[in-house]
Amino acid sequence: MSLYDEFKNHLCDKLIPFWEKLKDEEYGGFYGFMGSDLVTDKKAEKGCILNSRILWFFSNAYMALKDESLKEYADHAYAFLTEHCLDKKNGGVFWSLDYEGNPLDTTKHTYNQAFAIYALSSYYDAFGVNEALKTASDLFRLVEIKCKDEVGYKEAQSSEFFAIENDKLSENGVMADRTMNTLLHVFEAYTEFYRVSRRTEVAERLKWIMDTIGLKIFNPAKRRQEVFFDNDMNSLIDLHSFGHDIETAWLVDRGTAVLGDEHYKKLLTPITNTLEAEIYNIAYYNHSLANESENGVVNEWRIWWVQAEAVLGFYNAWQKHPEENKYKEAALDIWEFIKTKLTDKRDGGEWFWRTDKDGRPDMEKPIVEPWKCPYHNGRLCIEMMKRTR
């Protein structure tokens, strides 16, 4: 079987049927939680990030497969986003809703606004719904006005856009004022929004973010990105996030390609090359990618999204440098790990949240929750279909 067919079959036979069955016909959107026992909690909170990512997933699956049946699910997610996730009074996207679609956590996080822009841009691309592009444009303006200051992008704010603690995007014992993670996904969202709109002001923000990655996020001495920052962009912790670095490598390469600016390609490509090489050298072993290293201590969990981004990141590295066959071999090796260890082969399963370094799944972690979604593994299949066609 060809690689193209492998990824297509995984998308069609495993991922799409799983997420289709989570459609909530009564209250809208998609159910927000499934435990490791494969039991769906139909009254769990519905994360707005989860809904945006599902909207992105079905929109892009439709474009990849030209399967008209997928439009129903994209339309369903779009309706829920626009009717429930958007704050009609203050603007922006809530953090989460209750199972009936009422605001539950009204935090306005920049990360969440970015994923709505990302999803709406893809939905517009797939189905030509002008209102979706307008909503993405409105959110872009809101982020630039409400979620940005003279230093960069803010993180968590109240429903009325007053600063609050960034507990949702802070980990490892620190409370970060700014994060690499939020900036990366604003970049990702703006790349997609620029691709479908070609608006000059979006291009200028992409350039600003790439300058920031090059000058403040990337640490050339340590050959990595810093992760958590204070308000003045000083790093707070000795942390190396392996998954984010390999994800950044291919997303930034894609962003420079979409932007089509030779100056930024020359500026960023050496950085993405360094990230790829460093992650290959220190984090790839046991047929998979370790999670992160804090103060030199490696977290050995094999997280679902880290493995998906590793396949894409290493395959992208090989496509840039065909003479470096080790990258292609690594991508295919990790894909084999995903198929044999990380994929839940039970009837009605999807991917486990994580395994240990030997591929034994952690059965304490849920299969679906506000962060566990079809975005990373769905994007893996869709992107690899494009790259292996």
* Contact indicator for 106, 159 with CB cutoff of 8 Å: yes
List % helix, strand, coil for the chain (3-state, nearest 5). 55, 15, 30
What mean pLDDT do residues 81-96 have? 98
- Give the domain extent around 286: 45-342
Rounded CA gap, 299 and 103, in Å? 35
pLDDT value of position 317? 98
Q: What 3-state class would DSSP assign to 2?
A: coil
Q: How confident is the model over 161-198, as pLDDT tens digits?
A: 999 999 999 999 999 999 999 999 999 999 999 999 99
**Contact residues for 23 (Cβ-Cβ < 8 A; gap 6+):** 30, 73, 76
- For the segment 88-93, the average pLDDT, to the nearest whole number, is 98
Q: What is the mean pLDDT of residues 241-266?
A: 98
Residue 232 lies in a domain: yes
Confidence of residue 256 (pLDDT cuts 50, 70, 90): very high
- Domain at 234, CATH number: 1.50.10.10
Q: How far is residue 184 from each of residues 56, 108, 209, 248, 385, measured CA to CA in Å?
A: 17, 17, 8, 7, 24
d(CA 373, CA 335): 18
Arithmetic mean of pLDDT, 224-252: 98
Q: Does any domain span residue 25? A: no
Q: What is the pLDDT of residue 28?
A: 98
| Residue 357: inside a domain | no
Helix axes 110-127, 69-80, angle to 10 degrees: 140
Note the pLDDT of residue 201: 98
Residue 361 lies in a domain: no
- The pLDDT confidence band at residue 134, using thresholds 50, 70 and 90, is very high
Please name the residues in contact with 379: beta carbons below 8 A apart, sequence gap of 6 or more: 57, 60, 308, 312
49 lies in some domain: yes
Q: How far is residue 114 from each of residues 120, 138, 186, 229, 244, measured CA to CA in Å?
A: 10, 12, 5, 19, 17
326: confidence class by pLDDT, cuts 50, 70, 90: very high
pTM above 0.75, yes or no: yes
pLDDT, tens digit, 9 for 90 and up, residues 260-284? 999 999 999 999 999 999 999 999 9
Q: Report the percentage of the chain scoring pLDDT > 90.
A: 100
Encode pLDDT of 8-52 as tens digits. Answer: 999 999 999 999 999 999 999 999 999 999 999 999 999 999 999
| 7 within some domain | no
Predicted local distance difference test score (pLDDT) of residue 99: 98
The predicted structure's pLDDT at residue 356: 98
Rg (CA), the chain: 20
**Quick one: average pLDDT of 207-235?**
98
Residue 218: which H helix or E strand, with range?
strand 218-219
8 assigned to some structural domain:
no
Each residue's pLDDT tens digit, 101-126: 999 999 999 999 999 999 999 999 99
Beta partners for 294? Answer: 239, 297
pLDDT at 296: 97
How many domains does the chain fold into? Answer: 1
Tell me the average pLDDT of the chain: 98
pLDDT tens column, 331-384: 999 999 999 999 999 999 999 999 999 999 999 999 999 999 999 999 999 999
pLDDT of residue 295: 97
Q: Does residue 34 form part of some domain? A: no
Q: Which residue has 């090489």 as its token pair?
A: 277
Specify the pLDDT at position 108. 98
User: Which pLDDT score, from 0 to 100, does residue 261 have?
Assistant: 96
